[in-house]
Each structure stands twice: as C-alpha cells, then as structure tokens.
Amino acid sequence: MRRVPVLVALGTALVLLLTACGGGATPEQEFRGAVLTEPYEVAPIALTDTSGQEYSLARDTDKPLTLVFFGYINCPDICQVVMASLASAMTRLDEDDRARVDVVFVTTDPARDTPEALRTYLDRFDPSFIGLTGDLDEIVALGEPLAVAVEQGEKLPSGGYEVTHGTHVTGVDGNDEAPVVWTQGTSAAQFASDIHQLLGQKG
C-alpha cells in the first residue's frame, strides 16, 4: 500500500477549512463537502481499468486527491448528472490544481459495463477519467467501507435491470483514507471551489 506525503495531511487542511467556513467566507467560498470525523478507509481491492490493467484505490491513487463515484452506464439520471458536474468542475480548475486530481468511476453493473463500454462512456465527459470494473462481489466489498451500497434492482421491460447504489462522491487522499464526501446535488462550481481549497492553492 503506497503512502504518499500529500498536502501535509488532508485532514489538517479540512480542520482549517471548517474553521474558516464559520467566519467570513462568501457563498462561493463556503466548503460544500461533508467532512467526516472518522474518515472512511479504502479497501486494498484491485479492480480492472479500461486498459485492462489492475487498479487499486489504495495502491494506485497517488495524487493528493482522487474523487470516486460508483455508478453505471445505463443509469437514467443521477450518474450522468454527477459525472457532468465533475467534468465541468475539472474545466474550472487551474492547471496546477487539475494536475493533482484524479476522477475514478467504479461501475456497479460489471455484467454490462465492459472496459470498452466504460471508456466510450467516460470519454464523453473527460478522457482523463479512470473507469474501473471487475467482479461484482469485489465492487460491493470496495464500496462497503466507503458507505456505498450496491445491489441489483428490478428487471426492466427492456430486458435490462436497475442497479441501486450510493450516489455520493468520495474524496480519497494519498494516505488511503476518505475524509470528505459530496452529495449528488453538488454543483460544478462547488466541486471546483472545494477542490481548490483542499489542495491548498492560493487564488
């Protein structure tokens, strides 16, 4: 498991942010993510990325911040909205911030979301986004400690099926912990502002 000295502990930055947000922060500067008093731990489970290589959120997230979302290609609404917000947020970051952030999409529907299909789907949002698939049991196990429940839902008239899953975005730091989460309703501007603050960049 890789331990990277990032941000001189994201947790310290979060404490400072909480203190600052109680003061004179403008609505645009207000931190919108939920800071966890006890960060989620990232399970050392390896899935498969869209190039067919093993990828572990614990081992391979070596940037200061990795944003993780569990969803699926055939999701009719929420997944597309969240991914579009993340893609727009990335365009709002300056070059230095953008280089220090990864976005990872973990499919909750591996039976249909092949690596090739995931790559095509993610390229519509941002070609740099990382897509992961694998055995459903392993995806469920990866989601559990991140408070993401995954289960197959009802059969659809089309012959497919619904997949129910948690809809928050999780922020993973370089110490294999997830100290902050965002709800599905977080806007692109709010994501960008929070990311900028977390990375400690001066405006």
pLDDT digits (tens, 9 = 90+) for 31-76: 999 999 999 999 999 999 999 999 999 999 889 999 999 998 988 8
User: What is the model's pLDDT at position 169?
Assistant: 96
Q: Residue 15: is its pLDDT beyond 50?
A: no
pLDDT average, residue stretch 180-185: 92
Q: Residue 161: is its pLDDT beyond 70?
A: no
The answer to whether 31 and 170 are in contact (CB under 8 A) is no
Residue 97 CA to residue 24 CA, distance in Å, equals 24
Sign, CA torsion 65/59/128/122? negative
Q: Residue 100: is its pLDDT beyond 90?
A: yes
Q: How confident is the model at residue 152 (pLDDT cuts 50, 70, 90)?
A: low
**Distance, C-alpha 151 to centroid of its chain:** 19
Q: Can you give the residue ranges of every domain in the chain?
A: 10-198
Please name the CATH architecture into which domain 10-198 falls: 3-Layer(aba) Sandwich (3.40)
Residue 19 CA to residue 168 CA, distance in Å, equals 24
**Tokens 């055995």 belong to residue:** 135
User: What is the model's pLDDT at position 29?
Assistant: 67
User: What is the model's pLDDT at position 1?
Assistant: 36
User: Mean pLDDT for the chain?
Assistant: 82
User: What is the model's pLDDT at position 116?
Assistant: 96
User: What is the model's pLDDT at position 165?
Assistant: 57
Residue 203 CA to residue 167 CA, distance in Å, equals 30
**Phi then psi for 136, rounded to 5 degrees?**
-60, -40
In this structure, the strands spanning 169-172 and 161-165 are unpaired
Helices (H), the chain: 10-21, 78-92, 95-98, 115-123, 136-143, 188-198
Residue 57: DSSP 8-state:
T
Q: Residue 12: is its pLDDT beyond 70?
A: no
- The neighbouring-strand residues paired with 70 are 106
- What are the pLDDT digits (tens) for 105-137? 999 888 889 999 999 999 999 999 999 999 988
Question: Which pair of structure tokens corresponds to residue 113?
Answer: 């979301």
Listed residue (94, 101, 113, 100) closest to 165, CA to CA:
113
**Tokens 């404490």 belong to residue:** 15
